[in-house]
Structure 1
Amino acid sequence: MNQPTTPIKLMLVDDHAIVREGLRALLSDVDEFVIAGEASNGDEACRIAPQLLPDLVLIDLKMPGMHAPDAIRMLRAVVPNVKVLALTSYAEDDQVRDVMKAGAMGYVLKEVSKADFLEALRTVSEGHPWLHPQAQRSLMEQLRSGKPADPLATLTYRERSVLELIARGKSNRQIAGDLNLTEGTVKGYVSIILAKLKLEDRTQAALFAAERGMGRPKRDTSAR
């Protein structure tokens, strides 16, 4: 006799309540998925994910607050085994590249049929990539024209801001105060920076930044 399959715990992240409601309705008759929780932005998702421990996160890419690639990296840092499927209205070249580099395993457009949407959820939840054809074409164009990137170019604006303050010798608490973030969020950014730059600790990060001129106090030329 077959044992019942444990439902896949799915977390919905979208800033529009009506979209989350529509997704819940769409999945209401699909027994293999259970909605473990919802969030209206990346910051909230990263805050509640460690308590919910979802197997799969479906995240919209156009939300206020934390940029989607940052949220994806942070989610994977706080829930290491989580799978992430990006949801958006259209495939932009840079966006596809950035979210896949951040650790998303799939990229689905809102125009897809229910059958394709469920296929994307199932495929990603099993640990396999699923890309909408438009996203596949976008990635191919990126590969054809791509050039080796400066390591700093892989950092987002927020990550560079954190690195700048690390180079100035500031603690996580001080950085959190300067950037109006929680200390936990700063710790997540530090982990992401170390991973992206292939560094061991914040001392190496400070040296890396200093070698590139970061962290230096701005010279006051107003008296000249």
Structure 2
Amino acid sequence: MSLSHVITFISQRFALKMADVLAFCVLADLYMSLLPSRLNKLLDFEKKKVYTLKVEASNPHVEPRFLYLGPFKDSATVRIVVEDVDEPPVFSKPAYILQIREDAQINTTIGSVTAQDLDAPRNPVKYSVDRHTDMDRIFNIDSGNGSIFTSKLLDRETLLWHNITVIATEINNPKQSSRVPLYIKVLDVNDNPPEFAEFYETFVCEKAKADQVSFI
């Protein structure tokens, strides 16, 4: 049934003027188009892609003389499809803490980081080190599996902690990337002989006997 037929039907059935019916239809259509849709919870495409709702509309203000024409309500099934939005990779931890001995050789593996593209878990992710956080290039990372390894020798006495940032980037969409802090603690190794705090000088008399104490 076309809109013109509906308007004519309402006008004849309820003895209303055509102008009033037309105005009602226009206002109702405008109101429904402006009616906001609210979300009570955030949507997650990876968890649920489709929602099916039953919506019912009714008119609670019906004049008694028209009650016999009821019921003045109707229902419809609404199917809401959640569209996917490409999101950056997500690391398995908000931050990583690793440890390594200061006598570790170059190319020693310290540990690894892991990130995943939740939109498509099988899509590969590329790893890299933010060189602004590792200007001396002391560490490096395997771009494929996220393994962290040394590229220079370490010295705990020079620097105890190294704070760097690792980047995970989608290979299929390089614009999507995320970062995670990585804290590396250098463990002490007893690799330095003891040293005196200062130079000491003492004097001994030429007639001093064996086992005689000399004063500094």
Q: Which band: TM-score by shorter chain?
A: under 0.3
TM-score norm. by structure 2 comes to: 0.21
TM-score norm. by structure 1 comes to: 0.20
Higher strand fraction (1 or 2): 2
Bigger relative contact order, structure 1 or 2 (CA pairs below 8 A, ≥6 apart): 2
Greater Cα radius of gyration, structure 1 or 2 = 2
